Chain A
């Protein structure tokens, strides 16, 4: 998988990028627009399933997680959401928006030290998105944005668990720098659509919407809508 298109009538659109790249902002704006166009949209985000929430919280708090268990717990989260949150709306013909996808594991987990081929194997059950955006941003810009919003960097987001530096900002720079390099290797392999995340928010959104509109050209709407249309024609 991740190489073959999925068989469902819905559309799967994902955003990727490091923290501070602005991808979530862009996805929110896209969500608003799609709904205003009359589409049925479902949103899901990385690391949000209830199944592993407790283990994840405990593991992170007590620093019990190794790069491998960190990776596998995120895979459980992903598989759980895929089964309950992503595939059903796709089967119903809805548009699913995902804030982060398997590519996040291919960058973050590998930057933490797991084998790149192993983690690709772990996620090989993931369907390929119809459209995957990558918001490319330099480290310093991401850091400025994060520090502007909240005072402290999160422990794992800064890769503090990897032990690259005791200083959170320096650790963030080193860890996310590695993540950025890894994203670049994915762009061609997985056909990620690169968006320059330095541009104005509205001009980035303009590009995103244009690409989404193009990807929706063959989209017929939800299964229910298609059935109703067929009924009207008859």
Chain B
């Protein structure tokens, strides 16, 4: 069964042709601490062993803007509007320079977060939902969105064990709680509620991120395999060696 051709989420980018993109765009979504990067680290070598060429892309990792975003976050000078626009610029830079070229070359693109992160955050920050969606009208609709669902209770210890609570991930600028812990819990609860809402609206494939890492990985592989089986992919059939190194 051939998959539907790719399309833009909104008005799109008129100067880009997206009707011939044989690759697959697979997105992992979920709040920080849900285990996205751990899972991706294991998914990529598995896909390559299966014979697929893989390209990775991550939120705020564009060469054009990652420094600017880091600096602006450190300076706390951002508003919800400038924050969203910077994210969108970062996203567009990666979309045009990394994601679409890789899809055109038949790669599987694994995206650590996608526009839904902006939708969830902006909703919590109080930005106009309609505006955020218009902004990301330039985005390509992914082939598969895997959502690592967790609740705030399970998230708190993981984040404390990991890199700790940071100012932005705790929503401190919203002044939700008396200290960073309170603020983190409230902010993340709201964020998770938004993700859950988006999961329904955009038909994410939800995976319970409270389970052990191996269980989650097995479920993700199962879902991805099903997708790859379903799509018509004459250029890189499973089992053939990877097309190219992605360095």
Contact = CB atoms under 8 A, between A and B. Distances in A.
Interface of A: 51-52, 54-55, 58-59, 64-69, 72-73, 75-76, 79-80, 82-83, 113-115, 117-118, 121-122, 124-125
Contact of A69 (B14, B72, B81, B89): B89
Contacts of B92: 66, 68-69, 72
Nearest to A49: B82
A118 B68 contact: no
22 contacts: A52-B68, A54-B67, A55-B68, A59-B64, A64-B63, A66-B97, A68-B96, A68-B138, A69-B64, A69-B93, A72-B89, A72-B92, A73-B89, A76-B82, A83-B79, A83-B81, A115-B13, A118-B134, A121-B134, A124-B131, A124-B134, A125-B81
A121 B81 CA distance: 13
Given A66-B93, A69-B64, A118 B12 contact: yes
Interface of B: 10-15, 63-65, 67-68, 72, 77, 79, 81-82, 85-86, 88-89, 92-93, 95-97, 128, 131, 134-135, 137-138
Closest 4 CB pairs of A and B: A121-B134, A72-B89, A118-B11, A113-B15
Contacts of A82: 81
A151 B72 CA distance: 37
Nearest to B131: A124
Given A121-B137, A124-B131, A125-B131, 6 more contacts: A51-B68, A66-B97, A69-B93, A75-B89, A113-B14, A118-B11
Contacts of B15: 67, 113
B11 A117 contact: yes
A69 B131 contact: no
Contacts of B85: 72, 75-76, 79, 122
A164 B135 CA distance: 27
Chain B at the A interface: SS class: helix
A232 B239 CA distance: 87
B135 A122 contact: yes
Contact of A51 (B63, B82, B137, B138): B82
B83 to A, nearest CB: 9
Given A114-B13, A121-B137, A124-B131, A64 B82 contact: no
Given A55-B65, A66-B97, A68-B13, A118 B81 contact: no
Counting chain B CB atoms within 10 Å of each CB, which of A55, A66, A75, A124 scores highest?
Answer: A55
B240 to A, nearest CB: 32
A152 to B, nearest CB: 26
Contact of B137 (A58, A66, A83, A118): A118
